[in-house]
């Protein structure tokens, strides 16, 4: 089966889109229809991405940049074309500002190591840097709705603040942070800004030049592409001034026992043989999303968010954690008297996939005095009927635990 990219000029046809995702049509747990609501963890892949990976491995497989033979030329062209695709997707000013990584986490680690907040990946690298440099990590508090308190953010900014890092959107609560305003506040303070865009790119149009962020990191697998690959955008002047993150392979221009000369941007930060297939597959995923249109996707997901939120509020004992005015399509919740893992287990038996746990955001869970939550996260292919199935499943959870 070969997928055809959707036409963004037509009305949003979720059933048409669902046909592009083979996994959505399978049954699990004794014939139950799969209801996949764990998109904040990873998204499913359209046939266009699957086909592109198969084509690479069956027709183009070769290392890039180093060969003069036909396959290497083809693979290199596809690989570098993917960089151009990413540049356009986030509106970077140059391909030199697009560094391929293993994902958001590696992008953040790269900045922490070479430049040298609710998600562990945006906490731990800074803790390691603080231990190494003797710096202090300062955390911006959130209010009861799960929104960053901007007055506190402004208070924490001082002339000693060298770098500010925050998420575009929270994977645990869905809160969309006012990042453009926060970037401007940080720059006015003389601070460099890194955005964790893992949950931003799948749901929102991203224009790094308009945002004026210094760094922006995201993962392909959150936006309908392969796992194990991602992007770090960085302003060219900053990347130029930074030392390499790792050594070997493409990051080298020349080597002698006396001296090593590093490659130009962005290859200075891409040591070793890259995830060639993953990068090419990522471009196919971004092309797929672009063909639908981020604004169309956002409108569809917001409809699901509001529809599902209204239904969930009617379930006795259910508490929604994170009620920000601006949210991506993520709903975290607890159910009185029921551990989140039990919620997830019973829903799974009904064919419904949700995430349970602390969502790599333990400090945030402590802020709301809960050990864990259930989390339903919607993507471009989810439907109101699936939201209904979630609600029916939660009623079954209530029945099991309360009689």
Q: Which residues are catalytic?
A: 360
Cis geometry, peptide bond prior to residue 266 (ω within 30 degrees of 0): yes
Structure tokens at 62: 């070769």
- What angle, 0 to 180 degrees and rounded to 10, lies between the N-to-C axes of helices 124-133 and 104-114? 10
Whether the Cβ atoms of residue 248 and residue 274 lie closer than 8 Å to each other = no
Distance CA 83, CA 92 (A): 11
Tell me if 233 sits within 8 A of 90, measured CB to CB: yes
- In the three-class reduction of DSSP (H, G, I as helix; E, B as strand; rest coil), residue 27 is classed as strand
DSSP class of 267: G
Q: Which own/partner pairs from 90-94 qualify as long-range (CB within 8 Å, at least 24 positions apart)?
A: 90/201, 90/206, 90/207, 90/208, 90/216, 90/231, 90/233, 91/206, 91/207, 91/208, 91/209, 91/210, 92/208, 92/209, 92/233, 93/209, 93/236, 94/236
Side-chain-side CA neighbours of residue 257 (13 Å)? 0
Q: How many CA atoms lie within 13 A of 326 on its CB side?
A: 12
CA distances to 26, 114, 320 from 197, in Å: 31, 19, 23
Of 370, 359, 367, nearest to 335 by C-alpha is 370
What is the per-residue burial (b if ≥16 Cβ within 10 Å, else e) of 126-150?
beebeeeeebeebebebeeebbbee
Judging by beta carbons within 10 Å of its beta carbon (0-12, 13-18, 19+), is residue 49 exposed, middle or buried? buried
């Amino acid at each position: 089966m070969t997928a055809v990219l959707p036409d963004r000029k037509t009305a949003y046809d979720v059933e048409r889109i669902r046909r592009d995702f083979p996994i959505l049509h399978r049954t699990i747990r004794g014939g139950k229809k799969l209801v996949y609501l764990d998109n904040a963890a990873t998204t499913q892949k359209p046939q266009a991405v699957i086909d592109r990976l198969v084509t690479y491995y069956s027709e183009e497989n070769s290392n890039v940049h180093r060969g003069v033979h036909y396959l290497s030329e083809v693979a290199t062209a596809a690989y570098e074309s993917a960089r151009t695709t990413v540049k356009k997707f986030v509106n970077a000013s140059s391909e030199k500002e697009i560094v391929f990584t293993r994902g958001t986490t590696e992008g953040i680690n790269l900045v922490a190591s070479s430049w040298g907040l609710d998600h562990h990946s945006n906490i731990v690298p800074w803790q390691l840097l603080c231990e190494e440099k003797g710096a202090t990590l300062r955390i911006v508090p959130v209010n009861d709705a799960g929104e960053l308190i901007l007055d506190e953010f402004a208070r924490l900014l001082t002339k000693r603040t060298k770098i500010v890092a925050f998420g575009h959107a929270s994977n645990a609560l869905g809160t969309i942070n006012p990042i453009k305003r926060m970037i401007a506040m940080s720059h006015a303070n003389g601070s460099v800004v890194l955005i964790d865009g893992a949950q931003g790119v799948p749901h929102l149009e991203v224009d790094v030049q308009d945002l004026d962020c210094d760094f922006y990191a995201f993962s392909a697998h959150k936006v309908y592409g392969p796992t194990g690959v991602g992007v770090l955008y960085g302003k060219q002047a900053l990347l130029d001034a930074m030392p390499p993150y790792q050594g070997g392979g493409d990051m080298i221009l020349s080597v002698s026992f006396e001296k090593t000369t590093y490659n130009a941007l962005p290859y200075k930060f891409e040591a070793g043989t890259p995830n060639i297939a993953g990068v090419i597959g990522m471009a196919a995923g971004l092309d797929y999303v672009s063909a639908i249109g981020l604004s169309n996707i956002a409108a569809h997901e917001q409809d699901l968010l509001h529809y599902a939120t209204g239904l969930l509020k009617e379930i006795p004992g259910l508490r929604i954690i994170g009620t920000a005015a601006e949210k991506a399509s993520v709903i975290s919740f607890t159910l009185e008297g029921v551990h989140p893992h039990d919620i997830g287990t019973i829903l799974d038996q009904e064919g419904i996939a949700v995430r349970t746990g602390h969502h790599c955001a333990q400090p945030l869970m402590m802020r709301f005095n809960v050990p864990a939550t259930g989390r339903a996260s919607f993507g471009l292919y989810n439907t109101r009927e699936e939201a209904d199935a979630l609600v029916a499943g939660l009623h079954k959870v209530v029945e099991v635990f309360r009689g």
